[in-house]
Amino acid sequence: MQTRRFIRTLFALALAAPLAAHASLLGTRDGEWKDTATASGTGMGADGKPRTRMARECHKHTDSMDAYLKSLNQDNCKAKIVRQTARMVEVELTCTDPEGKGRMHGLMKMQALSDTHIVLEAEETYSSGEKMQVKSDSHWVSDTCTKQ
């Protein structure tokens, strides 16, 4: 039960980490972005069905890689950049259960296909043997942000 709750918590964190809010790190446009993220895998809870979340985010070129890593380095998680170019970043993420009963290791790749389109893929493996994949597709909407 605790492991399932831990997995769901990490899933929520992974989807909540705002991809578009840090899009400028990859040379993309400022403004409002629409993001659709889907998670699937054996760590999806009792029904095993993929989960999808849509969100709108605002970003500016004042966002930094330090801020992005700080958003991932919370509580029991540690993130580090393993590879980076002007249009792509790969981040390794390791998290432990607050009770010390589980661990997750993942690799996330975020890539700007253009200045108005970003994709993210992440693979996570848990000490329980469960695996999860997260895919996100983010598109620039406008120069003006409706959500701050």
Q: What is the pLDDT of residue 39?
A: 83
Q: What are the start-end ranges of the H helices in 54-98?
A: 65-72
pTM for this prediction? 0.77
- For residue 46, what pLDDT is reported? 63
CA 118-123-124 angle, 5° bins: 135
pLDDT at 6: 47
At 117 the pLDDT is 93
| Averaged pLDDT in 10-residue chunks for the chain of 148 residues | 47 48 70 87 72 82 64 76 89 81 86 91 86 89 82
- Residue 26: predicted pLDDT: 80
Closest Cα to residue 22, out of 75, 88, 80, 68? Answer: 68
Residue 139: per-residue pLDDT = 93
